[in-house]
Structure formats: structure tokens, C-alpha cells
Structure 1
Amino acid sequence: MSVTVFIQSRNGAKRWQPGKRWLLLPALLIAAGIGAYEHNEQQFYQQQLNVDGEKAARKEQQQELLQLKSATASQLSMLATHVARMQAKLTRLEALGEQVAQSNQLEEQFDFSDEVGVGGLSDIGANIELEQLIADMDSLVLRIDKNNVQLSLLETVSSNLHIDKERYISGRPITKGWLSSHFGFRNDPFTGRRALHKGIDFAGKDGSEVVSTGGGVVTWAGPRFGYGELIEIDHGNGLRTRYGHNKALLVHAGDVVAKGEDIAVMGSTGRSTGPHVHYEVLRDGKQIDPKTFVYRKAG
């Protein structure tokens, strides 16, 4: 097959017959166009895939960020709980420490209100991780719990020592006066016969103070035959003291009295010849000689 092309010019019409190569040019142009279109289409598709992939990656990153934010909030909440627990325990520890220090007159040596002095050189370590921080705080809470228990035991021991010191019977039941009659057999001032005197008498001025020789609980405060106005105090461990012939009583049954506290006013009520206090010490309900307690050193 051949193609003839006529070209009109000033000199007339000319005939040009192209070769086979010229006939292939349109096909090549069409094929090149199709190839370029497919290439552009492939690039557009790839770009679209990349855009979709980036969108998916950003969405995944946003999801991870939300999860991290939620986990951080949970950890911070846990951290705040740990801090609150530590603050409560430290507050109690400080209160117990101050109480023990005051009870033992150690306020100048232990001040729980000031910051504890620390310092010194240290190497720079790695960054602190939240999990390690929480673990350290858990360990600190356990130490605080242990110290709370130990300090509570110390407080109990200190209190018991203080109580033992308070109820330790010693000294005279008066602030002013003199010993007028010993424990043991004597001539009864009313009958003149030999009789057992079950206490010690301390004479003094009418209306002077009568004091407790040890801390304890008042088990009797009122009149009793022979004693007049009587006060009886239970000091524990089977020991009791009695203070008889008082003019007036300053305490009532059930009261807790301290060592050296004024409990009565000296008088001459009951079977008495003049102002004095009849002082008895009883062990397991039986009168014993108070002299050992009167002259022993204060505990």
C-alpha cells in the first residue's frame, strides 16, 4: 500500500509519496501518548497511595499519642496517690516524733518542723524514669510504715515509763509538818492500851495541804469509821495509799491524781486528837510499814 500527497505551490502541484517510516510516525505518536498517560496515571496512583499511607500513619501516631496521654495521666494519678499517702504518714510520724521529743525533753535536739540538712557531691546519673520513681516511693512508704510502728512502740514504752514514774510511791503526804507517830504497836491515845497502829501520823497546821505520794486513781473519797474524812488511792500493782482525818477533800472517787497533787486539807475528823494525816500503805489489801516508801528516793 502506498500513499501519494499532492502539494500545491506557485509553480504548480507537486506530488510527494512518503515512505513506510513516515507512515509509522502516527502510530508511534499514539503509542507514546498512551505510555505517557499510563505513566502519569501510575505516578498519580502511587502518590495517592503515599498520601493514604501518611494519613494512616498520622492517625496511628495520634492514637498512640492518646494512649500515651492516657497512660501518663494514669501514672500521674498513681503518683499523686503515693504522694498523698506519704504526706499523711509523714504528718503522723512528725506528730509522734514531736510528742516523744516533748515527753522526754528533747525538743532542742530533735526539731521535726525544720528541713533535714543534706548535701555533698554526687555523680550525674541517668534520667529518672517514672516506674523507678514509683518503686522508690513504694520503698519509702514501707520505711515510713516501719518507722511509724517503731515510733509508736517507743511512745508506748515512754508513756509506760512515765506512768511507772508517776505511780512510784515515795515521800511524805504533807508539804509542812512532822512525823508524830510510827507504824507498829503503841499505847492507844484514847484507851491507853497497847494496840497496833497500822500507819504513820504526820502532824501539822490545821488547813495545810495533804498531797498524793504517787499517781493513781481515787477509789474512796468520803467518811469512814475511825478514819474520819478518808481518801484512798489505787496505784496499781496491788499498792494503795490512805490519807485519813482530813478536814476537807479536794478530789472525788474515780478521779485520776498525779504524784504530789493536793488531794485534801489537813484536819482532825474521826478518831483523832488533833490536826494530822494518818497515812497508810496497803499491799494486796494488807497494811505495811509506810516508812520504806516515805524515806526512799523519788523514782
Structure 2
Amino acid sequence: MSVTVFIQGRNGATRWQPGKRWLLLPVLLLAAGTGLYQHNAKQIQQQQTNIDNERVAREEQKKELIELKGATESQLAMLVTHVARMQAKVTRLEALGLQIAKNNQLEDQFDFSSEVGVGGLSDLGANIELDQLILDMDKLVSRIDNNNAQLSILETVSSNLHIDEERYISGRPIRKGWLSSPYGLRNDPFSGRRTIHKGIDFAGKEGTKVVATAAGVITWAGKMFGYGELVEIDHGNGLRTRYGHNKSLSVTVGDVVAKGEGIALMGSTGRSTGPHVHYEVLRGGQQIDPQKFVYRKAS
């Protein structure tokens, strides 16, 4: 089959008969157009898919941000509540310090009335200013440091006000018992010879509590030749007391004891003929007559 084309011009009609290759041109154009259309359609579809994926990703991110915001606000609310509780405890601590200072007539020297920080929320999840919370926490730390310093100084001052009274040696080293041997010359119970007894003996029932006659630091707690189980207390100012022949000890070296505190139980250890406590007072390392300390009035 052949195709003849007549072209009308000024000089008349001209006949043109295209070859087979010209006849394939429309088919090629149609095929190229179809391919181009399909390619553009795929690109549009891919772009739409990408847009949809980005939209889903943004929705997921938005959801995660909302959940994170809620969790963060909840944690901050709990933190604010915790800070508020700490502030309440510090306030009570300040009140205690003020009362102690007042009892010792030192309220004019210690100021526990620093401004109380305010923390906490009325509703969980309400807006929270993180900067303000951090500022409150910094103020709270500062208050705690200040109070600790003042209380430490107050404790030292208060202790110094009462230490002389506590270190004042007076009374007997037992609550139940009797004086069985005074200080000075006596016949030694083992040899019968006249010797100097450098303490006072208080006899009683075995297991009777032995108490400190003044506050001080334990410098000896254990066996010593002749004394058996011995406790020695340093009261400062060159004064020490000894408590010998105990059955058992209730203290160790380095312990701080108060006046009247139990330090041992009466026994008969060491060079002893029966249950008693051998009580000595030493000044500058030398034994002195304890009698004036035993019978003098408490300060």
C-alpha cells in the first residue's frame, strides 16, 4: 500500500508520495508521547508518595513531641513538689535552730530568718518555668549550706556554754554501794603492810553500774596491771579519773561520755578481794585525794 499526498501551490498541485519511514513517524511520536506520559505519571505518583510519607512522619513527630512534653511537665511537677517538701523541712530546721539559739540566749548572734523560697504547683501539668525552678533549687542549696554552717557554730558555742558544768568532777562513781576503803595509808589486804592507797574503793553488788563522774573522752578501756578491767577518762585541764576492777566495760577508747553515763559494770578483776570499783582522780598525771570531788556539790 502506498500513500499519495497532493499539495496545492500557486503553480498548481504537486503530488508527494512519502516512503515507508515517513509512515512510521506518527507511530513513533505516539509511542514517545505515551512513554513520556507514563514517566511523568510515575514521577507525580512518587512525589505524592513522598509527600504522604513526610506528612505521616510529621504527624508521628508531633505525637512524640506532645507525649514528651506531657512526660516532661509531669516530671517537672514531681520535682517541684519534691523541692517544696525540702523547703518545708529546711523551714522546720531553721525554726529548730532559732529555738536552740533562743534557749541559749544567742538569738541576736544567729539569723535563721532568711527568706523562705516558694515552690510547688496548684495543678499537675500546669505551665512550669524551668529557669525559676532551677533558681529555687539554687536558693534552697544556699539556705541549707548557710543553716549547716550556723548550726555547726551554734553547736560549738552551746557546747562551750555547758562544757565546764559537764566536766565538773563531782559525786560517786556508783549509784548503789558504800565506801569500803578511803584514800591514804592503810594495811594492804594482800601483804598486810602499810601502804598508800591512791584512790577510794566503793563496794557493792557485782554487776552494779559504774558511771562517769564528769564528761570527757575515754583514753583507756581495757586491762591494766593491778587494776584489772580499767576505764580512764580525760576531762581536760589536766584532770583524769580512773575506774578499776570492773567486770565488763561499756565504752572504748575515743568515746565521748557524759556526766552520769554508764561506762562499766562493777566486778573484782585484777588485784581485788571482792566486787568493788577503785576510783582515782589524777591531776597532771599524779593521783590526788578524790574525797573532795566525791563530796563536793555539783555545779
Q: TM-score, normalised by structure 1?
A: 0.52
- Identity of paired residues, percent? 72
What aligned pairs does 1:118-133 form with structure 2 within 5 A after superposition? none
1:139-186 C-alpha deviation (Å, 9 max, x unpaired): xxxxxxxxxx99998765442121111111110000100000110011
CA shift for structure 1 position 91: 9.2
Task: Give the equivalent residue in structure 1 for 2:271.
Answer: 271
CA displacement at 1:269 relative to structure 2: 0.3
Aligned to 1:205: 205
Q: Which amino acid in the other structure matches residue 298 of structure 1?
A: A
**How far is 1:97 from its partner?**
2.6
The 3-state SS of whatever aligns with 2:201 is strand
| Cross-structure match for 1:98 | 99
1:174 aligns to 2:174 (yes or no): yes
Map 1:1-299 → 2, pairs under 5 A: 95-102=96-103, 156-299=156-299
Q: Distance in 2 between matches of 1:260 and 1:103?
A: 23
CA contact (8 A) 1:100 1:155 kept: no
The Cα offsets for residues 241-279 of structure 1, whole Å up to 9 and x where unpaired, read as 000000000100111111000100000000000000000
1:217 is paired with a residue whose SS is strand
1:94 Cα offset (Å):
5.1
Could you tell me how far 1:92 is from its partner in structure 2? 8.7
Determine which structure has more spread, i.e. the larger CA radius of gyration: 1
Q: CA RMSD in A?
A: 2.9
Q: Distance in 2 between matches of 1:263 and 1:150?
A: 33
8 Å CA contact retained: 1:96, 1:152: no
Q: Which runs of 5+ in 1 are unaligned?
A: 1-89, 107-111, 114-148
Change (3 A) 1:103 1:207: farther
What is the distance in 1 between the residues matched to 2:231 and 2:152?
Answer: 36
Q: CA deviation at 1:99?
A: 1.8
TM-score of the superposed pair, with normalisation by structure 2: 0.52
Matched residue, 1:70: none
CA contact (8 A) 1:170 1:298 kept: yes
The separation in 1 between residues aligned to 2:261 and 2:154, in whole angstroms, is 27
1:271–1:99: structure 2 CA closer, same or farther, 3 Å change rule? same
Q: Give 1:100 deviation, angstroms.
A: 2.5
- List 4+ stretches of structure 1 deviating above 4 A: 90-95, 149-157
**Residues 7-29 of structure 1 deviation map (CA, whole Å, 9 limit, x = unaligned):** xxxxxxxxxxxxxxxxxxxxxxx
Measure the CA separation in 1 of the matches of 2:217 and 2:235. 7
